[in-house]
């Protein structure tokens, strides 16, 4: 068993599930989306990105690209949330939907990453 593959897979899947947990719910109601879950999704996505830096293959490059996309979108989502609360002073429907939409894009990038990772794992020989 390859410990690096186990840890990588763990963080890829955990990043995806945390992102889904934040994304799931009505886009108009921010109370259905936990700021702590968004923070956890950002941290775990960054850890997953670090794991992807070591792979020098073509698949590794695509995995890194998907992870960077997810990182950027989740950080942008948190930035909009912070700007709306502390810059503008209130959350409106436009801010709320932008936050949830960006996390949805990150979720799609995470799903792509997990599918590629599982496909590569199934394709590899012992």
Q: For residues 87-118, b (16+ Cβ closer than 10 Å) or e, as one string? A: eeeeeeeebbebbbebbbbbbbbbebbbebbe
Per-residue confidence in pLDDT tens, the chain, 126 aa: 778 888 888 999 999 999 999 999 888 788 888 899 999 999 999 999 998 887 788 888 999 999 999 999 999 999 999 999 898 888 888 889 999 999 999 999 999 999 998 898 888 766
Q: Is 91 left (phi over 0), alpha (psi -120 to 50) or beta?
A: beta
pTM for this structure? Answer: 0.88
In the chain, domain spans: 3-123
């Amino acid at each position: 068993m390859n410990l690096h593959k186990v840890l990588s897979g763990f963080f890829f899947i955990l990043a995806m599930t945390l992102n889904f947990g934040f994304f799931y719910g009505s886009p108009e109601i921010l109370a259905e989306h936990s700021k702590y879950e968004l923070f956890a999704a950002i941290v775990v996505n960054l850890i997953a990105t670090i794991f992807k830096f070591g792979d020098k293959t073509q698949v590794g490059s695509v995995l890194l690209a998907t992870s960077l996309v997810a990182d950027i979108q989740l950080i942008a989502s948190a930035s909009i949330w912070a700007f709306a609360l502390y810059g503008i002073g209130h959350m409106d429907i436009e801010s709320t939907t932008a936050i949830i939409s960006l996390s949805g894009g990150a979720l799609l990038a995470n799903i792509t990453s997990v599918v590629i990772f599982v496909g590569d794992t199934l394709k590899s020989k012992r």
